Structure 1
């Protein structure tokens, strides 16, 4: 029976994810290999399936973290699908308004991590607490991504405010209640996860609206090059968002379905 690219991508990603999560019948090394492959498969789902960009991106992050954790425990070679900047993304197919929303999410996360880096630098001077180098690097990456997204957006209105409220950060610099789930987690982990959530939701909404418009009769004629540009853009964005989620997982944010998916 013929299946389209989306169906094939989902079938393969689901099969390998089941293998990766099978702690009873599947040997540990085979689980690692399956997770390493599934992280790529779910990015393919994000690209090929109009209604599953959000799911594909976040499930890729789950598999990335599973493979990464296994590699660290057993000393295996593992190349993460880490994307923190968009330097090599030269063509934009998504609406400028969507990219502006993504830039806002990146800029907001960049400001918040910069504030926390400042607080930890002061704490380090006073009592030798954890330093701020990683947070400063994280902040720089967010701000650079925001700048690149706005460049791609062209003449679209820039939604970035550069400075945001610091009340919650001042009150909860180490752990905070995630407004999306109600769970308490590491503050930076919550910031990263909510940045990823805002971004995948914005792209998913755009894709869904576009799909609905074409199904209602609007023209969607694309050249082969335009289709490739779209796939390249969705791939790079999915990898960027997944990187934020993996960072959150590495800081203790739960990577379980109930924490990531509304209907889990």
Structure 2
């Protein structure tokens, strides 16, 4: 089992969709237990397992560690029996920062860290389709098994609710910080230039059917393949253009891993 193991279901393409084993509220609870037991000290996995009531080499321990890493709450060092983990600054802001709005901002940042959650946040919030629609989409379009699709949907819903992300309309200023690059032009240039930059950097968009009755959340699609972001949308008003611009700005976080890799 790898150090970064999470629920990993084979996708139709070469990549498998990864998502956290537990939702953000459960991850924060696990981080709080580490803070109580170990404070700022790095702790061996066996010691963390004892804190969480897991065996030193159990799959639950490794999956939980991986989930906290995906949310940006945990960092590790070393390997094998010498591997240690400790809380990140983001985790400590969530647990200890009492300044007005600080914890809420940190929670939103953590919720957007996992790539799949960030992607579907831009598509499903605030108008998430029905459970059956979402499960079918994950199963047929992304290669999830039905069980994994239901698990992801549960993790997604609990995370969005806990971080109050529905209030942000799927985008906003609290997106995960990203590494500066030429992609910065997307957020600093006029709306027309933003669309042109994305079109030039991404593959040809996937055609979407035009349906005047479909809600906005079902009329656009954002995908990331390697260092390319593709967005396809059917827009009906200037206000929806503005929403797409905000979604693009939020989704720059999806490229963070590839930019620094």
TM norm structure 2: 0.28
User: Greater relative contact order: 1 or 2 (C-alpha under 8 angstroms, separation 6 or more)?
Assistant: 1
Q: Which structure: greater strand fraction?
A: 2
